[in-house]
Amino acid sequence: EPEVTQTPSHQVTQMGQEVILRCVPISNHLYFYWYRQILGQKVEFLVSFYNNEISEKSEIFDDQFSVERPDGSNFTLKIRSTKLEDSAMYFCASSVLAPYNEQFFGPGTRLTVL
Amino acid sequence: AQTVTQSQPEMSVQEAETVTLSCTYDTSESDYYLFWYKQPPSRQMILVIRQEAYKQQNATENRFSVNFQKAAKSFSLKISDSQLGDAAMYFCAYRRGSGTSYGKLTFGQGTILTVHP
């Protein structure tokens, strides 16, 4: 069964460093999403992406964040200068066509900022 | 802004018994969808059940069913004949209707379900 994959599973970085989290959505999906979950808190929406453009973003998704679909398979989230408060689990999701279709989630990347 | 509240941080159930997880939400929208997602220890969230707000009939998927009370803005999940594999974190989630949404899900805080053999 097709699934969303994410790499790495765990990333440790120093404060101020740039990180890129990678996701491979399900191949025929067209809508892509990033969510994050700070330990012990809710899963929060970051951004949705369709047709090579950001469709919607939350207040969390400031200028430090960017997303890209560099090729036909990968979907990346870049954090330019990480802060301690960026430590969280980051989930990628994708859906096949319209946004009301089921979102399939990846296993997540745990980001630890020291 | 829409909010989703799960007031039960943890619940437990005996194997083969029934358990109900609570969820309330707040919205001024009339067109929306509600979901229950399961997150096992492996961390990958999977969709358990979905309810369209315009449908009066409660959704059912095998052992999983919902009690959708639109006026009360309540959306509880009932798990019948609980199995050890049901042990997980369960998230309630809200999404605006397709005409005004790009798919953003708003999640509750989650409920950890423990199943005792």
Give the DSSP per-residue string, A37-91: E-TTS-EEEEEEEETTEEEEE-TT--TTEEEE--SSS-EEEEESS--GGG-EEEE
Contact list, A44 vs chain B (CB under 8 Å): 107
CA dihedral A69, A75, A80, A81 (to 10 degrees): 180
Query: pLDDT (tens digit, 9 = 90+) per residue, A12-61?
Result: 999 999 999 999 999 989 899 999 999 888 899 999 999 899 999 999 99
Q: Is the pLDDT of residue B13 over 80?
A: yes
Give the pLDDT confidence score for residue A94 in this predicted structure. 94
Confidence of residue A66 (pLDDT cuts 50, 70, 90): very high
Contact list, A42 vs chain B (CB under 8 Å): 107-110
Give the pLDDT confidence score for residue B57 in this predicted structure. 93
Q: Residue B115: helix, strand or coil by DSSP?
A: strand
With an 8 Å Cβ cutoff, are B110 and A91 in contact?
Answer: no
Give the pLDDT confidence score for residue A1 in this predicted structure. 77
Q: How many CB pairs under 8 A join A and B?
A: 62
A41 touches chain B (CB under 8 A): yes
Q: What is the DSSP letter of B44?
A: -
Q: Residue B100: helix, strand or coil by DSSP?
A: helix
Average the pLDDT over A55-81 and give the result: 93
Give the pLDDT confidence score for residue A100 in this predicted structure. 66
Q: What is the DSSP letter of B90?
A: E
Q: Is the pLDDT of residue B49 over 90?
A: yes
Looking at residue A45, its amino acid is: F
Measured between CA atoms, how close is A13 to chain B, in angstroms? 21
Output A101 or B57, whichever has higher pLDDT. B57
Mutation target among A105, A109, A110, A111 for the B interface, most CBs of B within 10 A: A105
β-strand A65-68 against A19-24: which pairing, if any?
unpaired
Give the pLDDT confidence score for residue A93 in this predicted structure. 95
Sort A111 into a burial class: Cβ within 10 Å, 0-12 / 13-18 / 19+: buried
Looking at residue A28, its amino acid is: N
What mean pLDDT, rounded, does chain B reach?
Answer: 92
Confidence of residue A98 (pLDDT cuts 50, 70, 90): low
Residue B103's contacts (CB-CB under 8 Å, 6 or more residues apart) are: A31, A33, A48, A55, A56, A95, A99, A100, A103, B95
Q: Is the pLDDT of residue A4 over 70?
A: yes
Confidence of residue A86 (pLDDT cuts 50, 70, 90): very high
